[in-house]
Structure 1
Amino acid sequence: MNTRTLAAALVGATLFGLTAAQAAPKPKAKQAGAVTVTVTVTNSRKADLVQLEAAKSGSPDWKEVLGPLKSGKQASAKLPQASDCRFDLRGRFDDGQSTDASGINVCADKTLNLTD
């Protein structure tokens, strides 16, 4: 291969590489406009909340939506809006107790009061 052919091949490969890099799909960013529902959680128990988890109603995919919450305090939890707005919720408390609720419509009632 002569020098001129080699130079042309390198230029072509470089241009192809730049074109391929520009045409490569970009990694997906977070879904634009993803809808969430904000629920106000009030801990009316005497024990502190350790964590609150949520799953779309009937799903085994639990996600933590709220961390520690002191007794008598409030905090906001953001849940991805399910098509029917229904979630199963479970909370764990520092006294070893837990609470479970199934099929809660978080779009209709945007408050959750944790009680004894």
Structure 2
Amino acid sequence: MWLLFAGNSRYDQPGFAPSYRRSLNDGLLDIRTVDGSHPFARTRLVAALVTGTLARSRVYQATMVTRLRIDGTSAEEDYTRDGEVSPAADTLHLDKATHALTVYLPPPR
């Protein structure tokens, strides 16, 4: 896997660049991956973006899940979470709590 995006809740607009969420408590993870093992994977990805055929591309996948487990990651790889880089573990577990997210905002002026 060349790229994994795991977003909290369903993002709108479908495609390579998630931009908007209607809610944060739908119980879903928005998963988007790019499989770099295909010949010319990067070229295929760019061509699909340019031609508007990303949904049919063999290198790009998008799905909604409630949890995800990925085994067999390399110790030489890194993860980036919210901009923070850390070494990869042997197994990656992504899960989502089913209760509401508490958001703190400053009082209105």
Q: Which has the larger share of helix?
A: 1
TM-score (norm 2): 0.26
Q: Which has the higher contact order (CA 8 A, sep 6+)?
A: 1
TM-score (norm 1): 0.25
